[in-house]
Structure 1
Amino acid sequence: MSDVKTCTKCGETKSLTEFHRDKNRPDGLTGACKACRTASSKKWQSKNLERAYENNKRYRDRLAPVRALVAAEAAALRKIGRRQRALIRTEKKCPSCELVLPIEDFGINVTTLDGRNCYCLPCAAEYNRSRGPRNVSNGKRLTYSELSEEHRTRLRAKQRRWFKNLDREERDKINQSQREARKNNPERLASARASCRNHWLKNREQYVEKKRRYEAAKLRRTPPWLTDRDIAEMRLAYSMASNLEYENGKKYEVDHITPLQGEKVSGLHVPWNLQVIPANENRSKGNKFLVGEDIA
């Protein structure tokens, strides 16, 4: 087989590499050379711009899924390679302080390739301290007591949403750690109690109104058909709470299993709707109805 071929358009004899492949022809190559075919294609496109644009668009749309798949596979391979290199890295440069530090000096972050934060621990701590409102006079970050009431309300709402999304085990761990912290720091506990006392003194009217509203709801939720025996059983529950507090040295309270002022369901002030539980559990429960309990 010859290594050259004559173009059917320009009539020149050229090497086989100057011709496109065409499986429908006997020799497997096009009749016209690459240069002639390119010139002919450009001439046709200049006269038929709309049809050329539509043809190119159909071609790109047909190849788009294939190109996306190839790009995703290539990115995955590159990411695997970077992660393998990152996992064996023992040092890292902090972009803030520009120091090359051991990998242990960076916080854990499972979303990054090397599993560590971008900034070192001191720089990250400084950045966190710089966030939030600051005092205009001295430039220091405001404490919680110095924040406005609106800002504190937003922070408390954000904390409640975060705590509500936690699992039961995680909540118990947080509560246990807080109890241990209060036990190991009597000064902190005394300060917290003094703060609660001051808040009660400043907002005594709100506390009194809340208590009166609860007592009125209890009266409305007490059915008139209760017998003397039912009332005696209810008094026994309150006596049991006092006895447990005296014996264990821990405060107990009488709780309504189905709350009297629940948001979705309300119970009655009846003996079978009462339970004696520790005060901290009663306060954490609030007026929530736990699913699975009997409705009174």
Structure 2
Amino acid sequence: MTEHHCKSCDTTKPLAEFYLRADGRPQRRKCKLCVGSANKIARAALGRAQKRRTPEELAARKAANLQRLSAWTAAHPERVKAARKAAADRFVKANRGRVNAGNAAYRAHKRRATLPGFDVWITAIYDTAQDLGLTVDHVYPLHGKTSCGLHVPWNLQLLSLSRNSSKRNTAPRSI
């Protein structure tokens, strides 16, 4: 099927002049031109003309929306946190293989970055962190932008979860 009949203008036109579904069939019985005309007539009947916004108006609108979103986010931190967690959970559920592959790659890299003979010390550091309610951080990240650290006791430090998260993948400034 390379052509379709528009019931509005009563003409047969090529499929390219119709809005198509993913399977290639027309979405509607009207061609794009007739759909646009019908929408224009409907807007005029409602008293709304289609307005083209200037780049300045678009930028101001975007800034206002961003400010409104920032204010709402600041006012509802628990809802934002719940929504982000739900999104992360959905991602993990939908991409289980990808997440598992990433975790396995991280563990393999950590194994390669560990010197033999320090397993007991490293385990003691992790046990201490758990007892104190802290997290273990690599002073020099295992996957840094400018350097890569080792998984050894002198490259580990205990930090709070928030401090460790804010540090991200950054090395000390003395490099």
**Which TM-score band (shorter chain)?**
0.5 to 0.7
Q: Which amino acid aligns with 1:195?
A: A
Deviations 1:197-236 (A, max 9, x none): 1122222222222211111111111123x2xxx4332112
SS of equivalent to 1:287: coil
Give the % identical residues: 30
Q: How many pairs are equivalent?
A: 115
Q: Quick one: structure 1 residues 291 and 130, their matched pair in 2 at CA, closer, same or farther if it must change by over 3 Å?
A: closer
Written as runs of structure 1 = structure 2, the 5 A alignment for 1:1-296 is 128-129=60-61, 181=74, 185-224=77-116, 226=117, 230-245=118-133, 252-292=134-174
Residues 115-140 of structure 1: CA deviation (Å, up to 9, x unaligned): xxxxxxxxx88753269xxxxxxxxx
C-alpha separation between the residues in 2 aligned to 1:125 and 1:269? 53
**AA partner of residue 290 (structure 1):** P
Partner of 2:21: none
**RCO (CA 8 Å, sep 6+): is it higher in 1 or 2?**
2
For 1:129, give the aligned amino acid: R
Instruction: State the distance in 2 between where 1:221 and 1:127 align.
Output: 48
TM-score, length basis structure 1: 0.33
- Which of 1 and 2 has greater Rg? 1
Q: Report how far residue 242 of structure 1 moved.
A: 1.3
CA deviation vs aligned residue, 1:165-203 (integer Å, no higher than 9, x gap) = xxxxxxxxxxxx9xx937x54233222221221122222
Matches of 2:163 and 2:94, distance apart in 1: 26
**Secondary structure of 2:146's partner?**
coil
Structure 2 unaligned regions, length at least 5: 1-55, 66-70
Counterpart CA distance in 1 for 2:115 and 2:119 is 11
Amino acid at match of 2:106: Y
> Alignment RMSD, CA only?
3.4
For residues 125 and 242 of structure 1, do their structure 2 counterparts lie closer, same or farther at Cα, with a shift above 3 Å needed? farther
Question: AA paired with 2:139?
Answer: I
Gap change, CA 1:260 and 1:186, over 3 Å in 2: closer
Distance 1:130 1:190, change over 3 A: closer
Displacement of 1:244: 2.0
Runs of 5+ in structure 1 lacking a partner? Answer: 1-123, 132-140, 142-176, 246-251
